[in-house]
């Protein structure tokens, strides 16, 4: 399998879609404030039912980033259990989702030389989430707790816009549900309103082109597996 070309910026929508991947190693290169702002301004052109625009974003940089990192890492290192306010995953995984989930996990761990059952190394790799994979920018996305499933659907479109616009700007991202379970630790570092539920976190920055974890190629089911053409 060829090494993905992570350099450069996306020139077309297709290019942005197919070069977007969840990266897990970033350089310290700063992200220009105007570039970052434009990504979020344009991402907010996402559609939403009756134009409700359910997204609320907390961009983390410098001391803001450091505070959230420190608070979540403290909880994680103290083995505070993951406890999300809204379930992202099913209580019990089942096929075909279980196999897909296992495969991406093992593929990442085997790239990193982490053997099955090596809980310590797995935990250390998972911990990288809370360091925002060393990127200079992080984000915490929240939604009003009284909003419904439709608004979560709208939210996904907004998040995808952020990730695709990042590609156009030569940036990469990693969306992170890992943060949902540490909303209490996030709250102690960020002035979130009580009505705000953490949807996910996201790392934003420039790809570390030498990191083995960034060579992960995830698979997709074939067109025939997920599409039924009628008529």
Ligand X SMILES: Cc1cc2nc3c(=O)[nH]c(=O)nc-3n(C[C@H](O)[C@H](O)[C@H](O)COP(=O)(O)O)c2cc1C
Q: Which parts of this chain interact with ligand X (CB under 6 A)?
A: 21-22, 24, 104, 129, 174-178, 200, 218
Query: DSSP secondary structure string, 182-194?
Result: GHHHHHHHS---T
C-beta of 18 vs 33, nearer to ligand X: 18
CB half-sphere exposure, 148, CA atoms < 13 A: 2
Locate 148 and state its tokens: 């419904």
By C-alpha distance, which of 32, 8, 26 is closest to 18? 8
Residue closer to ligand X by CB (options 71, 176) is 176
Q: Which is nearer to ligand X, 18 or 34 (CB)?
A: 18
Least distance (Å) from ligand X to the CB of residue 181?
A: 9
Toward ligand X, which CB reaches closer, 22 or 161? Answer: 22
Shortest distance, CB of residue 24 to ligand X, whole angstroms?
6
Nearer to ligand X, 36 or 162 (CB): 162
Least distance from C-beta 29 to ligand X, angstroms?
A: 20
- In the complex, least distance from residue 125 CB atom to ligand X, rounded to whole angstroms: 9
* Three-state DSSP state, 19: helix
CA distances from 14 to 19, 23, 37, 157 (A): 8, 18, 23, 16
- The closest of 5, 132, 116 to 65, measured between CA atoms, is 132
In whole angstroms, the minimum distance from the beta carbon of 140 to ligand X comes to: 12
Q: Return the CA Rg of the chain.
A: 18
């Amino acid at each position: 399998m060829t090494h993905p070309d992570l350099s450069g910026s996306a020139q077309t929508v297709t290019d942005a879609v197919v070069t977007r991947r969840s990266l897990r190693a970033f350089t310290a290169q700063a992200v220009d404030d105007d570039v970052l702002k434009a990504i979020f301004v344009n991402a907010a052109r996402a559609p939403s039912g009756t134009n409700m625009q359910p997204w609320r974003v907390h961009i983390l940089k410098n001391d803001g980033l450091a505070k959230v990192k420190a608070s979540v890492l403290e909880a994680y290192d103290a083995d505070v259990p993951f406890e999300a306010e809204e379930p992202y995953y099913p209580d019990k995984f089942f096929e075909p989702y279980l196999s897909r989930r296992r495969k991406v996990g093992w593929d990442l761990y085997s790239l990193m030389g982490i053997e099955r059952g090596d809980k310590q190394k797995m935990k250390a790799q998972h911990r990288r989430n809370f360091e925002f994979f060393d990127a200079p920018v992080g984000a915490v996305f929240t939604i009003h707790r009284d909003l419904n499933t439709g608004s979560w659907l709208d939210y996904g479109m907004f998040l995808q816009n952020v990730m695709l616009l990042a590609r156009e700007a030569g940036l990469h991202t990693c969306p992170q549900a890992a943060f949902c379970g540490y909303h209490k630790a996030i709250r102690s570092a960020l002035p979130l309103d009580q009505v705000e539920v953490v949807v996910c976190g996201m790392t934003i920055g420039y790809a570390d082109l030498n990191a083995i974890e960034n060579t992960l190629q995830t698979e997709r089911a074939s067109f025939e597996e997920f599409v039924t053409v009628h008529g």
